Amino acid sequence: SQQGEEDPQALSIQEGENATMNCSYKTSINNLQWYRQNSGRGLVHLILIRSNEREKHSGRLRVTLDTSKKSSSLLITASRAADTASYFCATVARNTPLVFGKGTRLSVIA
Amino acid sequence: KAGVTQTPRYLIKTRGQQVTLSCSPISGHRSVSWYQQTPGQGLQFLFEYFSETQRNKGNFPGRFSGRQFSNSRSEMNVSTLELGDSALYLCASSWTQNTGELFFGEGSRLTVL
């Protein structure tokens, strides 16, 4: 069963714009992670945020976590065509494996 | 350092056959996890192995099995294939049990005819 649910399912923006994706989950977590997947390829880890953290940055990525609302957001600033991919959130609860959402398909148009 | 290697990358089978997929983790990683990815169900957890022991298992029928060897390499097997088993099977490795960053292979794309 899916723990995380991403929103929107698909997002299309112009190069240079910011892209925001949201993830909601249902149970308490130890950490939440974001991954990227280019079409038909393996997933690449982007960032991990622990349950006691509220915000984390990595390059053009900014992740927030609100445990009271059981939600997270991923912001990609100044998007590039190379950012076109599917983005997944994955939650980790105590003694359980990573559970992935169904992802957001991001298209960045040059 | 070499990444996670999965073989074969593509394969076609017919209903009723069986298939074995292989995964070589990053050197030093002792945890290997398997996921099935389909357009309808997304990424579904199959199993996780750590030091040759299955630590977690997803909600899949007994036709799906796996194992891990002493060198951390892992295999998964699907017997009596069904059309619905067509999917991208992804293997991921990590240093410890499945709580931190996962490093994924490129996957094995299985088509069942």
pLDDT at A5 over 90: no
Supply the pLDDT for residue A3: 65
With 90 as the cut, is the pLDDT of residue A4 above it? no
pLDDT of residue B1: 67
Work out the pLDDT band at B13, boundaries 50, 70, 90: very high
Is the confidence at residue A75, as pLDDT, over 50? Answer: yes
Q: What does DSSP assign to residue A82?
A: G
Question: Is residue B16's pLDDT more than 70?
Answer: yes
Q: pLDDT by residue (tens digit) across B58-70?
A: 999 999 999 999 9
Chain A residues with CB under 8 Å of B95 CB are: none
Q: Which of residues 32-71 of A touch B (CB under 8 A)?
A: 33, 35, 40-45, 48
Supply the DSSP string of B73-109, one letter for each residue: -EEEEE-S--GGG-EEEEEEEESSSTTS--EE---EE
Any B CB within 8 A of A89 CB: no
Mean pLDDT is lowest, of A48-52, A97-101, B32-36, for A97-101
